[in-house]
């Protein structure tokens, strides 16, 4: 499996040198981390028990550790193996069967770390007085006016037209009696 880059020819040559028949090599032209990978999907669909997916590097196979784990799970489900030339990973080799489960553990760790880091960043921003989300459409004075008009019995449509904002904005700023 090759990802199309400037060195795609070099990758193909390395795979051929590693014993992969030239006709079996697939080149994905998708760029970016979340783009469609039709050739990868085709290869994974064609693999069966005992087959080996050979890649030049794990970074060419997957866009993230999580994506790599998902590919690994698919390979395990069909009893196929993975061989990466750069990382010298070969799950068919003696003692290498634990590589994919180890990657699953690392993916879980990555998710935990990202979640904790995001939470810490949001907490720090709140401590500095920052509030997330879109700024309110109405100023405090306009929101108070909207509430006053609503309490006087004016319709939300009338209030929205008066303030020149959508009705949904008015609804978001009203305290309605329970």
Query: Do 18 and 106 lie in a common domain?
Result: yes
| In a shared domain, residues 161 and 105 | no
**Same domain, yes or no: 65 and 152:** no
Q: What is the pLDDT of residue 165?
A: 94
Host domain of residue 149? 140-173
pLDDT tens figures, 23-81: 888 888 765 556 678 888 899 999 999 999 999 988 888 888 888 888 888 888 899 98
Residue 131 placed within a domain: no
Q: Which candidate, 19, 11, 108, places its Cα nearest to that of 61?
A: 11
C-alpha 167/C-alpha 178 separation (Å) is 20
Q: Does 160 lie in the same domain as 75?
A: no
Give a yes or no: residue 20 inside a domain: yes
Q: Would you say residue 130 lies in a domain?
A: no
Based on the structure, what is the number of domains in the chain?
Answer: 2
Catalytic site includes residue 3:
yes
CA distance 100 to 53: 13
For the ranges 65-69, 84-88, 92-96, which has the lowest average pLDDT?
Answer: 92-96
Same-domain pairing of 147 and 106: no
Write down the pTM of the prediction: 0.56
Instruction: Tell whether 125 is covered by a domain.
Output: no
**What percent of the chain has pLDDT above 90?**
36
pLDDT: which is higher, 177 or 32 = 177
3, 115, 155, 178: the active-site residue: 3
Contact between residue 11 and residue 56 where contact means Cβ atoms under 8 Å apart: yes
């Amino acid at each position: 499996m090759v990802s199309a880059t400037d060195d795609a020819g070099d990758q193909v040559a390395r795979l051929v040198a590693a014993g992969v028949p030239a006709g079996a090599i697939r080149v994905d032209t998708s760029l970016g981390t979340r783009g469609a990978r039709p050739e990868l999907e085709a290869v994974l669909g064609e693999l069966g028990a005992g087959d080996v997916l050979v890649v030049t590097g794990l970074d060419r196979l997957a866009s993230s550790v999580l994506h790599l784990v998902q590919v690994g799970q698919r390979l395990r489900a069909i009893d196929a193996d993975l061989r990466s030339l750069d990382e010298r990973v070969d799950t068919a080799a003696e003692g290498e069967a634990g590589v994919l489960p180890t990657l699953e553990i690392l993916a879980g760790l990555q998710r935990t770390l990202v979640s904790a880091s995001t939470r810490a960043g949001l907490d720090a921003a709140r401590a500095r007085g920052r509030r997330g989300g879109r700024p309110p459409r109405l100023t405090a004075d306009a929101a108070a006016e909207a509430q006053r008009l609503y309490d006087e019995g004016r319709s939300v449509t009338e209030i929205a037209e008066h303030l020149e904002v959508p009705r949904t904005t008015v609804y978001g700023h009203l305290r309605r009696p329970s």
